[in-house]
Chain A
Amino acid sequence: MDAVIKMTNLRMRYNDKADYVLKGIDLEIMPGQIIGYIGPNGAGKSTTVKIMLGMIQNYEGDVEIFGENIKTNAVMYKQRIGYVPEVAVIYDSLSGYEYLIFIGELYKLDLKLVEYKAKEMFKLFGIQEALYNRISSYSKGMKQKLLIISSLIHDPDILFFDEPISGLDANSVMVFKEMIKQLSEQGKTIFYSSHIMEVVEKISDRIILLNKGVIAADGDFEMLKEKSKEGSLQDIFNQLTGFNEHEIIAKSLVETIRLNSIGEHDSADTMIQQEV
């Protein structure tokens, strides 16, 4: 089977003087995998995703999606990908319905089908009453559901999810997790980046841990566990990113919170030293 996504020595920096955000990423992803893409803040996760979506062009190295270099064939591969961004950017003076029709037109879909799918999916997500309302009146969870629907309405083969479940209630999260499991069984590739380790641990076939612009670990959960001899993905994450002071920092935080006057306790300074 051929890789659906292939990156070779991917490097990226935002300007000539800045440091590299991505320092040479090599990656091959097979169809039907759910990839848990994790890493601390600023590791370069969103940058990688933005490059694959064609939102950033001035990267170094090669990215192939569906076997084609996205620098030379920059448009048509997007017909087969879906994306849920981390921050909900949306033209929010449209209604949910109008937004989905707009998206459908850009994907050149049959608008009757889009309309049917939109109604059906709004109903299944339990927000059917909001379909014709202005998006600016949506709650956070409703906006998130709309983003999820808009990323799936054209039945794409690769899905990029960036914190897709933020703002969703527990029931919707269960629906969502089951849905992506079934989608992957039908051959869809899902690129799932998140900070919620428990979820990533449960749903991913393969976990890629990015730290400071390089891949720090790559493999399924069992493999990572064996390699690092740690219990949960959270522990593995902490170990691989070299972080083990959460108790000390939390303790200092609590002490700082409980402080009544300066001078009573001077642990604020010691904490900073510990962190460095």
Chain B
Amino acid sequence: MKKDFLLIKILTKIRGVFKNTSVNFEDLITILSLKLTLDDRKSSAMGMAKKQKLTGMKSNLLMQGFFGLFIGLVMLVPFDLFYKISIITAMDLFFMVMFMISDFSSVLLDTRDKDIILTKPVSLETMNVARLIHVIYYMISLFLALNAISICILTYQYGVKILLGFVIMLVLLSLFIVFVTTILYSILLEQFSGEKLKDIINAFQIMLSVVTIISYQLVGRIFEFVDFEMVIHIRWWTYLLPPAWYASLFKVLVEGDFTRAYVIMAILSVLVPIISGSALIKWILPKYESYLSKLQIEDGVFIPKNSLKERLKQSLYNIVARDHKERAFMKFADANLSRDRKLKLMILPNQALGYVFPLIMILPFISRSNGIQGLLTELNGSLLYMNAYWAIVMFTSNFEFMQYSEKFEASFIYDSFPIEDKRVIFIGAIKAYYIKYMLPGMIFINVLFLFLCGMSSLVGLLIIDVMSFFLLLLRYKMTHLELPFSKEVSSSGNKNPAPVFGLMGLCALVAGAQFLFVKNNVLMGLLVLIVMVIMTQLAYVSLFKRPEKIKQN
């Protein structure tokens, strides 16, 4: 462990702060350097094949910096300062809270600390303060990454005075976020136990990643939505919005605008972090450890259900897989896909993108027309449904995630069980993946485009449906994939970009061909459909059913 972290150096300079508290400064430094060392190593443990230069945290900061660039561009638009700061704060709040829940839940909810550190002569206060400082340190880094560019632009526009505003905002906002998240966790921990809670946190993480990923897609279009002539109306609910508090703080501090509403909200921006902070220290922190111990109680119960959904799934499985081994691996893959939290966190946000992408692509066509009726008549018979290929690109490229698992070591069973042909594991996984993730997506897309483009798109959509399975098979063949659930979940969770571009190119080709030669011609469409079904069948058989070629030495 090294000790030359910037944070440690700063803390050593201000050690006087801790003099008259129950916090032991040496322990604090020891624990913090441990935590920072652990953070540094987090992802290098994963990058066995290719050494990553950036650890998870640093690449995260880079991403946020990129987003900060866009916020900075918005700052160039001559809005009122109130709006500018509201936009900044809203973004900061969102990203920082998301960061707290997704990346830092492992820090806030680390039960190892209790077993290792609390059994040593270290007081509970010291450990909790170390935790808080650790979190706040990353909040500040994140704040700077997000706002550096905006700060530069605003300083140019409003003068150096605004820097003071940002310093105050940084302190208050970080405190506010840490306190609010910790209190939120404590409430959740008090209400729910063990597995249930982990599911809730998981759902939170997924939800927030979905929102970020989608907002990354929307960021380029932000100027299309922005109404440039905004007048500030402060209504009663404005007082409930934290971004408005901080914007008011700037109005008061920087522009010297002492309108009553601004003053009240500026006071709120200071008061709320202080109140929530004292509530945290007084009521929550003392109980936090006992809340955490709940996390270790495992209480997931999965009694086989005989519901309609289960029976439907069962009969569907029986139809698509005759071989009992194949069916076993389908059920196995399905159970893993629904329970493995880390895997879900990787798959679901990317999956959501599959639903959203076609919508984003048809957005420009929709905004032009007026009224739903007019829209439908205008779109009827159009080839807009070709945008469904966007969804297929997303869905099929997500198949890559099947390789990962939280408990990847358990894949020893593939070797210890009598499985002659390992392809059966893949085909089980492919079919389970299709039914669980792609089928609902394809149904959604079919319904959507049938509604928008009318019945004439039916044959075209059927071709696309067949193509979705065909392309999934191609994705499997495209690059070498490890056996399902046999790779460690990596912290960055990024896909290998090469197959994504490959699939995109393929889809563009296929969609282009369909666009040029098939259009809405029913006869031609049916012909292509039949050819595609046969081709898919052939691909399926040659990939999985034909005996494996014996490799020559």
- The residues of A with any CB-CB pair to B shorter than 8 Å are 14, 53-58, 74-79, 81, 83, 85, 89-91, 93-94, 98, 101-103, 105-108, 134, 136
CA distance A89 to B111 in the complex (A): 9
CA distance A76 to B122 in the complex (A): 8
- Residues from chain B with Cβ under 8 Å of A76 in the complex: 121
Cross-chain contact A106 with B27 (CB below 8 angstroms): yes
Give the contacting residue for A55; candidates B31, B42, B115; CB below 8 A: B115
Cross-chain contact B119 with A83 (CB below 8 angstroms): yes
Q: Interface code B15-49, partner A: CB below 8 Å = 1, 0 otherwise?
A: 00000000000110011001001100110010000
Cross-chain contact A55 with B121 (CB below 8 angstroms): no
Q: Does B281 contact A (CB under 8 A)?
A: no
With most chain A CB atoms within 10 A of its CB, the pick from B31, B116, B118, B290 is B116
Nearest to B41 among chain A residues (CB) is: A93
Cross-chain contact B123 with A105 (CB below 8 angstroms): no
Nearest to B289 among chain A residues (CB) is: A57
CA distance A83 to B121 in the complex (A): 12
- Residues from chain B with Cβ under 8 Å of A101 in the complex: 1
**Chain A to chain B contacts (Cβ below 8 Å), 23 pairs:** A14-B297, A53-B119, A55-B114, A56-B293, A57-B289, A74-B123, A75-B123, A77-B121, A78-B121, A81-B119, A83-B119, A89-B111, A91-B38, A94-B34, A94-B37, A94-B41, A98-B1, A98-B37, A102-B1, A106-B117, A106-B122, A107-B121, A136-B45
Cross-chain contact A89 with B121 (CB below 8 angstroms): no
CA distance A56 to B289 in the complex (A): 9
Q: Does B309 contact A (CB under 8 A)?
A: no
Q: Does B480 contact A (CB under 8 A)?
A: no
CA distance A93 to B1 in the complex (A): 11
Known: A53-B119, A74-B123. A105 touches B30 (CB 8 A): yes
Majority secondary structure of chain A interface residues (helix, strand, loop or mixed): loop
Cross-chain contact B119 with A55 (CB below 8 angstroms): yes
Question: Nearest chain B CB to A7's CB is how many angstroms away?
Answer: 18
Report the number of A-B residue pairs with Cβ-Cβ less than 8 Å.
Answer: 71
Cross-chain contact B119 with A90 (CB below 8 angstroms): no
Majority secondary structure of chain B interface residues (helix, strand, loop or mixed): helix
Cross-chain contact A91 with B1 (CB below 8 angstroms): no
CA distance A106 to B1 in the complex (A): 14
- Residues from chain A with Cβ under 8 Å of B26 in the complex: 105, 108
- Residues from chain A with Cβ under 8 Å of B119 in the complex: 53-55, 78, 81, 83
Question: Nearest chain A CB to B118's CB is how many angstroms away?
Answer: 6
Cross-chain contact A106 with B30 (CB below 8 angstroms): yes
Question: Nearest chain A CB to B204's CB is how many angstroms away?
Answer: 24
Q: Does B13 contact A (CB under 8 A)?
A: no
Question: Nearest chain B CB to A103's CB is how many angstroms away?
Answer: 7
- Residues from chain B with Cβ under 8 Å of A91 in the complex: 34, 38, 112, 116
Known: A57-B289, A58-B290, A106-B121. A93 touches B38 (CB 8 A): yes
Question: Nearest chain B CB to A63's CB is how many angstroms away?
Answer: 15
**Pairs A-B, 6 closest by C-beta atoms:** A93-B41, A78-B121, A106-B120, A105-B30, A79-B121, A89-B115
- Residues from chain B with Cβ under 8 Å of A93 in the complex: 38, 41-42, 45
Nearest to B35 among chain A residues (CB) is: A91
CA distance A55 to B116 in the complex (A): 10
Taking A53-B119, A56-B290 as given, write out 15 further A-B residue pairs in contact, using a Cβ cutoff of 8 Å, ordered by the A residue number.
A57-B289, A74-B123, A79-B121, A85-B115, A90-B112, A90-B116, A93-B42, A94-B34, A101-B1, A105-B26, A105-B30, A106-B27, A108-B26, A108-B121, A134-B45
Cross-chain contact B45 with A75 (CB below 8 angstroms): no
Question: Nearest chain B CB to A56's CB is how many angstroms away?
Answer: 7
- Residues from chain B with Cβ under 8 Å of A89 in the complex: 111-112, 115-116
CA distance A94 to B40 in the complex (A): 11
Nearest to A106 among chain B residues (CB) is: B120
- Residues from chain B with Cβ under 8 Å of A105 in the complex: 26, 30
Nearest to B193 among chain A residues (CB) is: A15
Question: Nearest chain B CB to A46's CB is how many angstroms away?
Answer: 11
- Residues from chain A with Cβ under 8 Å of B114 in the complex: 55
CA distance A197 to B539 in the complex (A): 60
CA distance A77 to B27 in the complex (A): 16
- Residues from chain B with Cβ under 8 Å of A90 in the complex: 112, 116
- Residues from chain A with Cβ under 8 Å of B124 in the complex: 74
- Residues from chain B with Cβ under 8 Å of A102 in the complex: 1, 30, 34
Question: Nearest chain A CB to B116's CB is how many angstroms away?
Answer: 6
CA distance A76 to B115 in the complex (A): 17
CA distance A125 to B41 in the complex (A): 27
